[in-house]
């Protein structure tokens, strides 16, 4: 989700709250928006487990690393030797945190029902304690727009993404107490893309991570470690794996 879309959304919400006359209508509208955004994610997303294979191959003699260069790399928590590699890198994509999306949908649906059945009361006076309860609930449901849009955007990206490996350049500054990574990758057309992203508890010291990008806009990308509603794992248990990147 782009920053401009977030800014426009909050400006609209601020306008609603600033000129509010019937607090129930604001709660009803925001709850419906949250439900629609979540529904879009469920419709666009792929609920089944999906297996992906990234091609790999041995390097020729001229491409062998120098004697002082690293002899191995770490990819998604596994270490691979550079002088030998499997035919492909096999990984599995599954969904996770269904309970979070379900909980948001339940809260938003409840807010819609509460606001709908309270419309009989029409205008709630500012001195009525119910006004402040509805007002607080409006802000809470509006806050749920953030994970709702995160869910929908992630599901849309993972529907048919461009999948490749991104090089991890290093750990960025700890912003808001979270670990951030900087990364870069090259698309088949030759363009180089990347940026920084939050690390949601992935394996440490990886040289490469799986990246998912929009084929039409590669700048819209997510590392596997920044996915909240999806998980990337190896298709087979780790063993004495050896591999190389081309």
Question: Other C-beta atoms within 10 Å of 228: how many?
Answer: 16
Asked if the structure places residue 71 within a domain, the reply is yes
Asked if the structure places residue 204 within a domain, the reply is yes
The pLDDT of residue 103: 94
168 plus 89 within the same structural domain: yes
The pLDDT of residue 143: 93
The pLDDT of residue 62: 37
164 plus 216 within the same structural domain: yes
175 plus 228 within the same structural domain: yes
193 plus 147 within the same structural domain: no
109 plus 148 within the same structural domain: yes
**Tokens at 210, concatenated:** 């799986």
Asked if the structure places residue 240 within a domain, the reply is no
60 plus 179 within the same structural domain: yes
104 plus 208 within the same structural domain: no
Q: Which residues face 178 on adjacent strands? A: 175
Residue 140 backbone dihedrals phi, psi, to 5 degrees? -65, -45
Element at 107 (helix H, strand E): helix 98-117
Asked if the structure places residue 244 within a domain, the reply is no
Provide the domain count of the chain. 2
Angle at Cα 108 formed by Cα 103 and Cα 114, nearest 5°? Answer: 125
Asked if the structure places residue 175 within a domain, the reply is yes
Structural domain of 67: 50-95+160-234
| Boundary residue ending a domain (108, 138, 153) | 153
The pLDDT of residue 188: 74
The pLDDT of residue 246: 29
Q: State pTM to two decimals.
A: 0.74
112 plus 206 within the same structural domain: no
Asked if the structure places residue 38 within a domain, the reply is yes
144 plus 207 within the same structural domain: no
| Boundary residue ending a domain (135, 153, 171) | 153
13 plus 58 within the same structural domain: no
The pLDDT of residue 60: 36
Asked if the structure places residue 242 within a domain, the reply is no
The pLDDT of residue 80: 80
11 plus 55 within the same structural domain: no
- 3-state secondary structure labels for all residues of 183-207: EEEECCCCCEEEEEEECCCCCCCCC
The pLDDT of residue 144: 94
226 plus 172 within the same structural domain: yes
The pLDDT of residue 5: 59
The pLDDT of residue 244: 30
> pLDDT under 70 in the chain at which residues?
1-22, 56-70, 85, 119-131, 172-178, 236-246
Asked if the structure places residue 245 within a domain, the reply is no
| Boundary residue ending a domain (110, 127, 153) | 153
């Amino acid at each position: 989700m782009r920053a401009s879309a977030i800014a426009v959304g909050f400006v609209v919400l601020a306008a609603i709250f600033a000129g509010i006359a019937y607090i129930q209508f604001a709660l009803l509208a925001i709850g419906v928006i949250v439900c629609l955004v979540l529904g879009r994610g469920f419709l666009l997303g792929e609920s089944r487990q999906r297996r992906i294979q990234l091609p790999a191959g041995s390097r020729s003699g001229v491409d062998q690393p120098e004697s002082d260069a690293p002899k191995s790399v770490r990819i998604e928590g596994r270490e691979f030797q550079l002088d030998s590699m499997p035919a492909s890198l096999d990984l599995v994509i599954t969904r996770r945190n269904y309970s979070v999306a379900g909980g948001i949908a339940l809260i938003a649906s409840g807010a819609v029902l509460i606001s709908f059945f309270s419309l009989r009361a029409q205008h709630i006076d500012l001195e009525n304690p119910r006004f402040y309860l509805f007002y607080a609930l409006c802000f809470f449901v509006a806050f749920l727009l953030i994970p709702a849009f995160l869910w929908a955007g992630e599901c849309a990206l993972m529907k048919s993404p461009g999948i490749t490996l991104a090089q991890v350049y290093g750990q960025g500054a700890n912003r808001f107490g979270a670990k951030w990574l900087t990364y870069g990758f090259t698309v088949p057309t030759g363009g180089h893309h990347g940026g920084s992203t939050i690390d949601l508890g992935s394996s440490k010291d990886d040289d490469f991570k799986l990246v998912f990008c929009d084929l039409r806009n590669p700048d819209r990308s997510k590392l596997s470690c920044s996915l909240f509603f999806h998980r990337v794992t190896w298709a087979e248990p780790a063993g004495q794996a050896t591999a190389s990147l081309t």
